[in-house]
Amino acid sequence: MRKSDFNYSLPPELVAQYPASPRTASRLLHLDGANSVIQDLRFTDLPALLRAGDLLVFNDTRVIPARLFGRKDSGGHIEVLIERLRDAHRVLAQVRASKPPKPGQKLKLEGGVTAVVQSRDGEFYELAFDADMPVLDILERAGHVPLPPYIGRQDEIADRERYQTVYARRRGAVAAPTAGLHFDAAMLGRLQDMGVDSAFVTLHVGAGTFQPVRVDDIREHRMHAEYLRVTPEVCGKINAAKKEGRRVVAVGTTVVRALETAAKSRDHLKTSLSPEARGVIEMGSGRVKPFEGETDIFIYPGYRFQIVDALLTNFHLPESTLLMLVCAFGGTENVLNAYRHAVKSKYRFYSYGDAMFVGR
């Protein structure tokens, strides 16, 4: 498979720069993958696509204000985007500057904070913050919301709340699990009242989610690792649903990656899964086991899904790993036809855009 197999044309004016208001005001495209049928709906129609007994799985990661601006000690402007936390005072980050900073160099950041460059690994730098305050507290005080690169504006106060799901609770992501942005408390309550169950995993989305695929043969692409936690309680809910024939519905591609990693099936996980994770994989089918660690699972067409029966997702960038995952789930031709329909029908795309429900 070639990267170009996942391309489509998108007019730039369809890239959403602001979220819909209220949250549930987005449109919803329903793709019935089994019958290749497309239906135009509103997000408020989601309950009609679900049924009592379905298990809706969410990613409860919370976006941190991971972008900082400042200067090098030599005076040059810099922009720091935290990728992940190493510990309370050290981070892995991307640093944008006219000249790459060197180990030992000090970065003077907003809020009177200084970070020291410890080392460099490819496009990432390890930074140590010279402060008694934990990095997370520093970011809450001085950081900016890390809006994706295709949102062509500075972050605003409203983004602190809107680029966050209403159920976000575990801090650590630098990008939102955007399929969840459409839910409000009323919608969650409505689904609960109709008998839809819910469960929460944690996958801290990294900045690598926006990294382009740079190889033509997608099998050669390697994903950035991201922290994942799937608890025993969640595993119990998922395994019970699978045993009883109830659907497991993933809210977002991050949940798909989380659940398929936790399935620990050597036959079906791609070889891009980290060596540490591969070492604990056990044979199995349609069951998950507790998992806490890193995953870099890459799902593309040809993958056989173990856990997920339906997917709620946003519209993704051409040639992106996220689009490849959706194509793996719904069928490449089906999904790209749905995308062309969405473009023609002027759906809003990407993080602050509209949603898509994919059944199989």
pLDDT tens for each residue of 1-43: 899 999 999 999 999 999 999 999 999 999 998 888 999 999 9
CB 283 within 8 A of CB 266: yes
- CA-CA distance, 236 to 53, in Å (whole number)? 15
Tally of CB atoms within 10 A around 149: 10
Quote the pLDDT of residue 156: 97
- CA-CA distance, 129 to 136, in Å (whole number)? 11
Quote the pLDDT of residue 284: 36
Instruction: State the residue for tokens 């408020």.
Output: 44
Q: What is the mean pLDDT of the chain?
A: 92
CB 70 within 8 A of CB 213: no
Give me the residues paired with residue 278 across strands: none
* Segment 243-263 mean pLDDT: 97
Per-residue pLDDT band at 121 (split at 50, 70, 90): confident
Quote the pLDDT of residue 275: 42
**AA letter at 313:** T
Give 267-290 pLDDT, tens digit per residue. Answer: 334 334 444 343 333 333 589 999
Of 169, 184, 177, 109, nearest to 139 (Cα)? 109
Domain limits, the chain = 3-63+162-359, 67-142
Whether the pLDDT of residue 181 is over 90: the answer is: yes
Give 333-349 pLDDT, tens digit per residue. Answer: 999 999 999 999 999 99
Quote the pLDDT of residue 106: 94
pTM passes above 0.75 = yes
Helix and strand counts by DSSP (H, E) for the chain: 9, 17
Conformation bin of residue 36: beta by default, left when phi > 0, alpha when psi is -120 to 50:
left
Quote the pLDDT of residue 209: 81
| Angle between helix 253-262 and 321-330 (nearest 10) | 70
CB 6 within 8 A of CB 320: yes
CA distances from 106 to 61, 75, 80, 96, 129 (A): 31, 10, 13, 14, 10
CB 40 within 8 A of CB 27: yes
In the chain, pLDDT over 70 holds for what percent of residues? 94
Quote the pLDDT of residue 211: 83
Question: Between vectors from CA 88 to CA 85 and to CA 89, what angle results, nearest 5°?
Answer: 85
Runs of H (alpha helix) within the chain: 46-49, 135-142, 159-162, 185-193, 232-243, 253-262, 275-278, 321-330, 332-344
Tally of CB atoms within 10 A around 251: 26
Domain 3-63+162-359 in CATH 3.40.1780.10? The answer is yes
DSSP letter string over 307-321?
Answer: S-SEEEEE---TT-H
In the chain, pLDDT over 90 holds for what percent of residues? 83
What fold characterizes domain 67-142? Thrombin, subunit H (2.40.10)
